[in-house]
Structure 1
Amino acid sequence: MSEEAPGTVPEGKCIGRYQILKRIGAGAMGEVFLARDPHIDRSLAIKTVRLGGLHSADSTKESDNRLRLLREAKAAGKLLHPHIVTLFDADEAEGELFLAFEYVEGCDLERRMASSPPLTLREALQVVRQVAEGLAYAHERGVIHRDVKPSNILLDERGGAKVADFGIARLRGQATELTTTGAVIGSPQYLAPEQVRGEELDGRNDLFSLGVVLYQLLTGQRPFAGETVTTLVYQILHHEPPPVRQLRPSLPPQLESLLARLLAK
């Protein structure tokens, strides 16, 4: 019998009341499992959270990280929208925190972008429109995502888009000793200038990141790139990317105007 890798949950075991079916992914903060809720016979995705993967003003204090996660889960759990992955539960089992999300059959946008054939213009715009609708709904309720990127956009089997992982969402404008100080949360290539500068964030931050995703969908390349984080940060703060119609002349002028607004510094 092979040994389980450190931190994994053997298939057939439970996390809380949820029966684990199989491991389906892993990230910097934990692992993701396909699970079943025996109370209502529903499939869902369980994400375990390593407290060391969360950054707070004092990352050595697990109690601070726990409070932060549960606070943000409470905010995310109020978001009920067809283009947001629903958070059903947040709890702790055997000393490990976990989040129970709606299970979306399909793949994420990052994987879809790497496959053939590429998304058509209509399909790409539909994905971005649906993500924008989900983000607008969250922003109206004071919740921002802070990590909009292709791997956090799930596509169901019909091609519908859902924004995933509001687990690091933060209530807009909420000041607390648990907020991040000097730590970068998010994927560097999709960060907004305000994130890079460590400023207070609002919904415009998510729209900038969505603009980066749209630019990548339309051109096959990101608007900002760099071999080092320093170079990338400089590009985000000071560089104006090539107009999309310079790279893809067949695109309508309205898209160029839209991207200029989304990527405005």
Structure 2
Amino acid sequence: MQHEHWWPRPYRFDALLAPGVARARDCAGGIIVVKQGGVPAPLLRLRHPHLAAVVAADCHHHVLAWAGGVPMARLAGRVPVAAAVRWTGQLLAALACLHDAGVVHRDVTAANAMVVGTDAVLIDYGLAAPPGSCAVAGTPASTAPEGWRGHADARSDLFAVGVLLYRLLTGRHPFPGPPFAALQRILHGPVAAPSTQAPQCGSAFDPLLARALAARPSDRFASAAAMAAALDAAQAAFKLHCAANGGLARVAGECRKNGNRNDKYRERERKYRV
């Protein structure tokens, strides 16, 4: 097998945390994470500041040189817009690197996007595959329509990034409801504009997310770089919205009033301000 690499000697398992996931320690005491699923060969050579590095893999598992951090699922709707934009931009940079290597992640979710310090790190490559892989895989609520047909490509990952950004901005899922109802919304729409869920954001991110979450791949961004450029434009529009509405302090107050911040808002605002 092209990606068959067995465990280096220093690694030893010490606790099983969940099916397919274990924590391990090397001889120096550092923590690594073992995930279920082999990985495409390019991932063993790929290094990027916002991608967890694969340090070993066989046909059933892969080892990530990563530990700690907070999953973005815990922060959705609870951080400043600037932090959400920063993390999304970092994830897009990571995906651009991944896609250039001929790999589609296929499971970009709020659980697999971690915040380590003030930066985003994408983890878990158990479903990663070359574009057009025939297997149906992914987390249902973040899987693009073509992913359900076994034809995921780079634009499928960008759809998932759109889902993640929507959640970070609004604290809500763009495709709510039971699994079947959510699937119907993914396949046929509609998607509520984020401005209707989080008025404090204005309409700055509406065009970006409408395109990222389009049902047809041809209607989405062609690349992670193109989406990153649109994200920068949306952030500029958001700053204009803030200036026209009394600045960031007033917008932050609206966030708290609308229930999109918890009691630790000020602490998180200081920590994640960019």
Give the TM-score, by structure 2 length. Answer: 0.69
1:90-112 Cα offsets, whole Å, 9 max, x none, are: 148xxxx4322112322221233
CA gap of 1:15–1:31, structure 2 versus 1, over 3 A, is farther
CA RMSD of aligned residues (A): 2.4
Is 1:26 matched with 2:13? no
For 2:90 and 2:35, the matched residues in 1 are separated by: 27
* From 132, 139, 154, the counterpart of 1:187: 139
Report the equivalent of 2:268.
none
Instruction: Tell me, yes or no, if the aligned pair for 1:84 and 1:164 is still in contact at 8 Å.
Output: yes
Instruction: Tell me, yes or no, if the aligned pair for 1:45 and 1:103 is still in contact at 8 Å.
Output: yes
CA gap of 1:42–1:110, structure 2 versus 1, over 3 A, is same
For 2:132 and 2:138, the matched residues in 1 are separated by: 18
For 2:73 and 2:165, the matched residues in 1 are separated by: 12
Partner SS for 1:170 = coil
Partner SS for 1:99 = strand
Report the equivalent of 1:60.
none
Is 1:147 matched with 2:137? no
For 1:86 and 1:193, the matched residues in 2 are separated by: 29
- 1 or 2, which has the higher strand percentage? 1
For 1:151 and 1:123, the matched residues in 2 are separated by: 17
Report the equivalent of 1:78.
45
* From 183, 196, 208, the counterpart of 1:258: 208
Report the equivalent of 1:8.
none
Give the TM-score, by structure 1 length. Answer: 0.71
Counterparts of residues 153-164 of structure 1 (less than 5 Å): 153-156=113-116, 158-164=117-123
Report the equivalent of 2:85.
125
Give the CA deviation at 1:190.
0.7
Partner SS for 2:51 = coil
Report the equivalent of 1:226.
177
CA gap of 1:249–1:142, structure 2 versus 1, over 3 A, is same
For 1:127 and 1:89, the matched residues in 2 are separated by: 27
For 1:26 and 1:81, the matched residues in 2 are separated by: 27
* Count of residue correspondences: 209
Give the CA deviation at 1:235.
1.0
- 1 or 2, which has the higher helix percentage? 2
Give the CA deviation at 1:22.
4.7
Letter in 1 for 2:11: Y
CA gap of 1:111–1:251, structure 2 versus 1, over 3 A, is closer
Report the equivalent of 1:99.
62
Letter in 1 for 2:143: L
For 1:154 and 1:206, the matched residues in 2 are separated by: 16
CA gap of 1:206–1:48, structure 2 versus 1, over 3 A, is closer
Is 1:200 matched with 2:151? yes
Report the equivalent of 1:47.
34
For 2:105 and 2:41, the matched residues in 1 are separated by: 14
For 2:35 and 2:207, the matched residues in 1 are separated by: 41
Instruction: Tell me, yes or no, if the aligned pair for 2:35 and 2:64 is still in contact at 8 Å.
Output: no
For 2:35 and 2:48, the matched residues in 1 are separated by: 23
Partner SS for 2:199 = coil
CA gap of 1:252–1:141, structure 2 versus 1, over 3 A, is farther
List runs of 5+ in structure 1 lacking aligned partners: 1-13, 55-68
Report the equivalent of 2:125.
166
For 2:55 and 2:154, the matched residues in 1 are separated by: 23
Letter in 2 for 1:111: R
List runs of 5+ in structure 2 lacking aligned partners: 1-6, 216-274
